[in-house]
Structure 1
Amino acid sequence: MSIWWSLHLRREAASVPLARRLLLGTMETAGVDPDVSYDLSVALTEACANAVEHGGDTAHGSSSGAYRVTAYLDGEKCRIEVTDSGPGFARPHPRPLPARTDAEHGRGLCLIEELADHVHIGNNPGRDGAVVSFDKILKWREDAPLMAV
């Protein structure tokens, strides 16, 4: 069975826990192992926080705008994509550099890399904005109602 959903969210801090709760609820209902659900929810939180902080039209000083979160649970894998409409990355982003241990910012992309199995970080092709997508192989609870066969 496949499950997918997509949210179009305002670039406001309050939108981040909404996306996280929806993901956790979907995974709990489907019967995904709680440790896997937690890892993906932390990675999603970091990607959404980046979209809220950096995903706006900085050229015009605007803090308004929106971003999109899409999640797919399909078979043994979950893929999450967060897309914003900001300036995107200034350079190709093959792998995030680790932040200093005392840094208050700059850890999000590294956390996503650590928590997911496959990560793509880049610019939105043909449009403004950044795209952060990541997948993780799912583990299921024994009583999972939607367990992949």
Structure 2
Amino acid sequence: MSIWWSLHLRREAASVPLARRLLLGTMETAGVDPDISYELSVALTEACANAVEHGGDDGRGGATAAYRVTAYLDGERCRIEVTDAGPGFAHDSAPVRTPVRPARLPHADAEHGRGLCLIEQLTDHVQIGNKPGRGGAVVSFDKILKWKKDSPLVAV
């Protein structure tokens, strides 16, 4: 079984639950274990929240740029990629780095700074980097799927 979808979303907070609900609905329909679905939905929420907060403008002076979410459920793995049009990761000179290990963890009372760490803890593999050319950040992650018993879309 293979399912994929891609969303082009406005950089607004209201877009984050839309992406999360679509992912959860897709995984429920496919018969993915609810715990795995939940972990991936939290990781997606963090990646989308980062794109909304740090995604930059559209390069044409527009205050609300867009970002893209693409999800692939292919066989036993789910891969999710979130890309934006912001300045990218200035601290990262390499196009991709993994695993995500911040130089300094945020203070326990901090309101921000945990998103990439959460994504790393909830998924099996994380890649972050910058889009070539016009810039922008790319956060992708994947996780091996577990299935509910008698899942309707799992090949026997």
Match of 1:133 among 126, 132, 140: 140
The residue that corresponds to 1:21 in the other structure is: 21
Which AA in structure 2 matches 1:16? V
The residue that corresponds to 1:39 in the other structure is: 39
Are 1:119 and 2:130 an aligned pair? no
Unaligned 5+ residue runs, structure 2? none
State the Cα distance separating 1:123 from its structure 2 match: 0.4
Q: Supply the distance in 1 between the matched residues of 2:106 and 2:139 (Cα, whole angstroms).
A: 18
Unaligned 5+ residue runs, structure 1? none
Deviating 4+ runs (over 2 angstroms):
57-63, 93-96
Q: Supply the distance in 2 between the matched residues of 1:85 and 1:47 (Cα, whole angstroms).
A: 14
Determine what percentage of the aligned residue pairs are the same residue.
79
Q: Supply the distance in 2 between the matched residues of 1:60 and 1:122 (Cα, whole angstroms).
A: 23
SS of structure 1 residue aligned to 2:37: helix
Task: Please give the per-residue CA displacement for 1:83-127, whole angstroms capped at 9, x wherever unaligned.
Answer: 000110102155242322111000000000000000001101222
The residue that corresponds to 2:70 in the other structure is: 70
State the Cα distance separating 1:60 from its structure 2 match: 8.6
TM-score, with structure 1 as normaliser:
0.94
TM-score, with structure 2 as normaliser:
0.90
| Cα root mean square deviation, aligned | 1.8
